[in-house]
Amino acid sequence: MTSPTEAEARRDAALNRLRVHRAAIIRDLTRAAVRLALERDEITADEVRAVVPIPPCIRPVVVGAAIRDLADAGIIRRVGYRNSKRPAAHARPLAVWRLADAAAALARLAAHPPLSTD
């Protein structure tokens, strides 16, 4: 059985690979998540995906890399869970995120301009 520490290490390694190989879309997703968090009370990965469509050749887990980066930076914080409304997600639970630091969010947008059309 995989220990939580080993599982977290595997997750983090996979996210790091995504950050290297999918930098442009992760930056687009991160920027979208920050903008949404600044505009709304709460956000989920579904709302971020609605703003930045994921091309079929890219696995949707890239959304998690963007959200994790913001959570690790203290820009957003998880406040609960709700079921996905996307039919393809089969009502799977999604984390609900709320803005934790507006100043850091604005600084993140300024420091990380879009790599593609924003």
Give dist(CA 18, CA 30) in Å, integer.
13
**pLDDT of 107 strictly over 90:** yes
List C-alpha distances in Å: 76 to 1, 7, 17, 38, 39: 32, 23, 22, 10, 13
pLDDT tens readout for residues 51-99: 999 999 998 889 999 999 999 999 999 999 999 998 888 899 999 999 9
Kindly tell me the burial class for residue 75, based on how many C-beta atoms sit within 10 Å of its own C-beta (0-12, 13-18, 19 or more): buried
Predicted pLDDT of residue 116: 60
Q: pTM to 2 decimals?
A: 0.87
3 state DSSP class of 116: coil
* CATH code at 4-111: 1.10.10.10
Measuring CA to CA, which residue among 62, 49, 46 is closest to residue 14? 62
Q: What are phi and psi of 39, to 5 degrees?
A: -90, -30
